[in-house]
Amino acid sequence: MSLLDLERKEQELEQLRMDCEHFKARLESVQEDSVSEKKEKLALRQQLNEAKQQLLQQAEYCTEMGAAACTILWGVSSSEEVVKAILGGDKALKFFNITGQTMESFVKSLDGDVKELDSDENQFVFALAGIVTNVAAIASGREFLVNSSRVLLDTILQLLGDLKPGQCTKLKVYGG
């Protein structure tokens, strides 16, 4: 082997060493980035779990509050004067629209499940059905429901038809 060949081989070897060092440095950098991204992903996952937990707690609170408020409203809505006051308010239409959506969502969530009869969720929906029943019990209430909340009535009739035998019989008592 000549001196020239030896120098060329040394240069190639040096180039390979430099390439190797470069790749080692890149590997270390990528590994550090990977560890950093894993930590960030873990932190984000933890934040997501905390947010989910808060959302569940808020939903539970809203269900409890809805059940309590609607149960009270159901009780007082047996009075014709109270029904007239409710219907005279500017939130009646919104209330009955939300009632329809809530009842529809509730029935769709059943999917064969039997929920505890005394659960807040059941009490909430039963109270809504009771309020609609009480409103429909007076002439001005029926007129309001037929003229302004037809979608609610159609939804209730559809839902009552969609319920499977033995499913939510208490709701059928209030609604039909």
**Would you write out the chain's pLDDT as a tens digit for each of its 176 residues?**
788 888 888 999 999 999 999 999 999 999 999 999 999 999 999 999 999 999 999 999 999 999 999 999 999 999 999 999 999 989 999 999 999 999 888 877 876 665 666 789 889 988 999 999 999 999 999 999 999 888 888 888 877 777 666 655 555 455 44
- Per-domain residue ranges for the chain? 59-175
Amino acid present at 161:
G
**d(Cα 138, Cα 78) in Å, to the nearest integer?**
9
List all residues 6 or more positions away from 174 whose beta carbon is below 8 Å from its beta carbon: 126, 129, 130, 132, 133
SS3 91: coil
pLDDT of residue 175: 47
Backbone Cα Rg of the chain? 33
- The string over 112-136, giving b where at least 16 C-beta atoms fall within 10 Å of a residue's C-beta and e elsewhere, is eeeeeeeebbbbbbbbbbbbbbbbb
Alpha helices per DSSP H over the chain: 3-76, 80-88, 92-110, 120-136, 139-148, 150-162, 169-175
Q: pTM of the entire structure?
A: 0.71
Closest to 120 measured CA to CA, from 53, 62, 52, 56: 62
* Residue 32 neighbours by CB under 8 Å, 6+ apart: none
What's the pLDDT tens digit per position in 108-137?
A: 787 666 566 678 988 998 899 999 999 999
